[in-house]
With several copies, the nearest count.
Chain A
Amino acid sequence: MIELAPNHKYGLAIDVPLMPASGAFGYGDAYGDLVDISGLGAIVTNPISLQPRQATQGRRIAVHEDSFVVHTGWPNPGARRVIRDYGATWERLTVPVIVHLLANHTSEVARAAALFSAVPNVRAIELGFTAAASRKRAVELVTAAAVEGDLPVIAQIPFDRVDDLAPYLARQGVDALTLTAPPRAVLPVDENGEDPGVARFGRGRLYGRALFPLLLNTLSRWAVKLPVPVIACGGIASPDDALACLTLGAAAVQVDALLWRDPSLLDRIARALAKPRAAYPAVTHLLSPNEPETEENV
C-alpha cells in the first residue's frame, strides 16, 4: 500500500505505484480488455474543464524520429457531461479515479472540483497549469480545488517550472506532485505524412524517450527532498524505467502517451512493480540532493 496524500484527512492509498498519465488513457474505458485496470494503482482522466472545449484546427501531431509533439487544445465535453457519461463506469472500478482538471480560472476549478467530489470513487484531483502560471496563481488554483473539493490535490508541474513551483506548492499545502507535465517542443515535420508540403514544423507537448534522462535528473534532484510524494511522469517506456524512477525516490509513476504504441506496457509494468519492494536496485553513484556537493561526490 502506497499513500500518495499522507497529509490529507482521507489520504490516497494505492496498491500499485502505477497509473496512466492524464491524456494518455481517456476516461477509463477506452482500452477495454487491452489493459487490466484492476492491476493499476489508479487511473487519471484526460484533462477536463468546467465548460466544454473544442479541438484546435490544423495539424495536431508531428512525428520525427523517436519523438512526437501533440497539440490538441485539450478538447473535452466539460465536467458535467463527463460525470454523466463516465460516473457509473468509475463507480464500478476497483481502483481510485484521479480527475485531471485544466487549471485556468479559480472559480471554474473550484466549481469543477466540487462537482467531482460528489462522484463515487473519484478520490483526488490533479491540476494541470499553463507554463506561464505564476506561483501566486498556482497556489490560488490549488487552494480553490482543495477547499471546494474536499479531495487530495495533486499538482502536475510544468516541465520547466520544477525548481520554482514544486518546493513552493509543497510548502503551501499541495498533497502530492506529478513531475512533470510534458515540455513544449518544435519538431520538423516529415513530409511523408498526410499533407505533404503544408508545414515544416509542428509545435506541441513533447512525448518520447527524449524525456526520460531529463525526468531522472529532476527526480534525482527533487524526489527525496520534497516533503510530499512525487509521481514521476515523462518518457517511461519499460518496467526498468519505472523501477529507475522508484529507485530515485518517486512514490509512483505515470505512463504518458508512449502507451498508445504499446497499451500492454501498463500490465507489464504492473507485474514488475508487484514484486517486493526490497528487490528494487539501490542507488550507488548518485548524489543525494541534500548532500553538499564536492568534487568527489558530484
Chain B
Amino acid sequence: MDQAPEAGEFMLADLGGPVREALFPSTPVGDGFDTVVPPGHGATRLLPGATVDMLGPLGRGFRLAPTGYPIARLLLIAGAESLPLLGPLFQAAPSVVLVVEAATRAQLPPPNRFPPTVELTLVTRDGSAGYLGPLEAEGAAPAGLERAHTRLVELVAWAERICVAHDPSRYPALAALVKRVRLQPHADLAQAIVRVPMPCGAGVCDVCRVATPRGERRACVDGPVFDLLDFLPE
C-alpha cells in the first residue's frame, strides 16, 4: 500500500469475490490500518498474514481544517454500528466529544474502548442508559431521564467541526438541527459519511448513488463523506 487511508477514505479490496469491497480504516496502525467488518463478511475468512490486493485510498474523507489552521474542538456523532468509521478521528483534536447513539444499553460500546482524551456522551433510544434518544427529538423527557437533544444542541454550538457516521436516513434531521443552532454554518462545518456498496470505486457503475435534496451524488468519488447540509430538506 502506497499510503494508508485517512478517516472516511476507503480501500477497495479484492477478497476473492467477483467485485471488490470497500474497507474503511477504524484505527491507523503503523503504515496500515485496522478495519471493522460485519460478522460473516468475506474479510473474516482471510487467514492472518494473507495478502490482499487493494486499490486506494479512494474517495473524499473527513476534512478537518486547512493546514495551519488546526481545530481545537471536535464533535463526533455516531450510531453504534457506524462508530468504527470515526475511529481515526478519536485523537484528531485537543478536545474531542463523542456522542454514540444505540437502540438500547447492550448495543453501546464499552467505554474502555476509547482513548482517555475522548469525552463520551452515550444515548439510547429506549433510555436504558445515558441520555434518551433519538438525538433529534425535542420535548420533555419522562421522569428520571434527560433528553439527548438538549446536550446535542450545546455540543453543536461548541464545536469547530462536526463529523457524523450514522444511518443516512437520520441526516436530514441532523442537518436541520445544525442549521438551527449555527444559523450560517460554513461549508464542511458538519460532515457526514454514507456507507453503501461501492463495487467500482471510480464513479463508473452508479451503484453508490446517494439521493440528496441537492441532487444525486456518488459515494465513491463525491463522497463517501458529504457536507451534512447537503441533506438539509429543501
Q: Is the interface of B mostly helix, strand, loop or mixed?
A: loop
Give Cα A263 to B18, complex, Å. Answer: 13
Give Cα A70 to B206, complex, Å. Answer: 9
Give Cα A34 to B58, complex, Å. Answer: 13
Q: How many residues of A contact B (CB 8 A)?
A: 36
Give Cα A70 to B203, complex, Å. Answer: 15
Residues A31 and B202 in contact in the complex (CB < 8 Å), given A55-B216, A61-B19: yes
Contacts of B203 in A (CB 8 A): 26, 30
B29-44 CB contact bits vs A (8 Å, 1 = yes)?
0000000001111100
Verify B18–A258 contact, CB threshold 8 A.
Answer: yes
In the complex, whether A24 has a CB less than 8 A from a CB of chain B is yes
Contacts of A34 in B (CB 8 A): 55, 202
Total CB contacts across the A-B interface at under 8 A: 91
Contacts of A190 in B (CB 8 A): 40
A155-185 CB contact bits vs B (8 Å, 1 = yes)?
0000000000000000000000000000000
Contacts of B38 in A (CB 8 A): 192-193, 196
In the complex, whether A247 has a CB less than 8 A from a CB of chain B is no
Verify B204–A24 contact, CB threshold 8 A.
Answer: yes
Contacts of A196 in B (CB 8 A): 38
B1-22 CB contact bits vs A (8 Å, 1 = yes)?
0000000000000100111100
Contacts of B204 in A (CB 8 A): 23-26, 30-31, 46, 260
Residues A208 and B205 in contact in the complex (CB < 8 Å), given A192-B38, A260-B200: no
Measured CB to CB, the nearest residue on chain A to B202 is: A30
Measured CB to CB, the nearest residue on chain A to B220 is: A30
Contacts of A257 in B (CB 8 A): 19, 199-200, 205
Give Cα A262 to B195, complex, Å. Answer: 22
Contacts of A25 in B (CB 8 A): 204
In the complex, whether B73 has a CB less than 8 A from a CB of chain A is no
Residues A55 and B211 in contact in the complex (CB < 8 Å), given A70-B205, A194-B197, A260-B204: yes
Measured CB to CB, the nearest residue on chain A to B203 is: A30
Smallest beta-carbon distance A54→chain B, Å: 6
Smallest beta-carbon distance B116→chain A, Å: 33
Verify A72–B207 contact, CB threshold 8 A.
Answer: yes
Find B14's partner among A60, A207, A208, A261 (CB 8 Å cutoff): A261
In the complex, whether A75 has a CB less than 8 A from a CB of chain B is yes
Q: Which of A49-87 contact B (CB under 8 A)?
A: 54-55, 57, 60-61, 63, 66-68, 70, 72, 74-75
In the complex, whether B72 has a CB less than 8 A from a CB of chain A is no
19 contacts between A and B (CB under 8 A): A24-B204, A25-B204, A26-B203, A31-B204, A55-B211, A60-B197, A60-B207, A61-B207, A68-B17, A72-B207, A190-B40, A192-B42, A196-B38, A257-B205, A258-B18, A260-B19, A260-B201, A261-B20, A263-B55
Q: A30-B200, A54-B211 are in contact. List 16 more A-B contacts (CB 8 A).
A: A24-B205, A55-B211, A61-B197, A61-B199, A66-B17, A67-B18, A70-B199, A70-B205, A70-B207, A72-B205, A192-B39, A196-B38, A257-B19, A257-B200, A260-B20, A260-B201
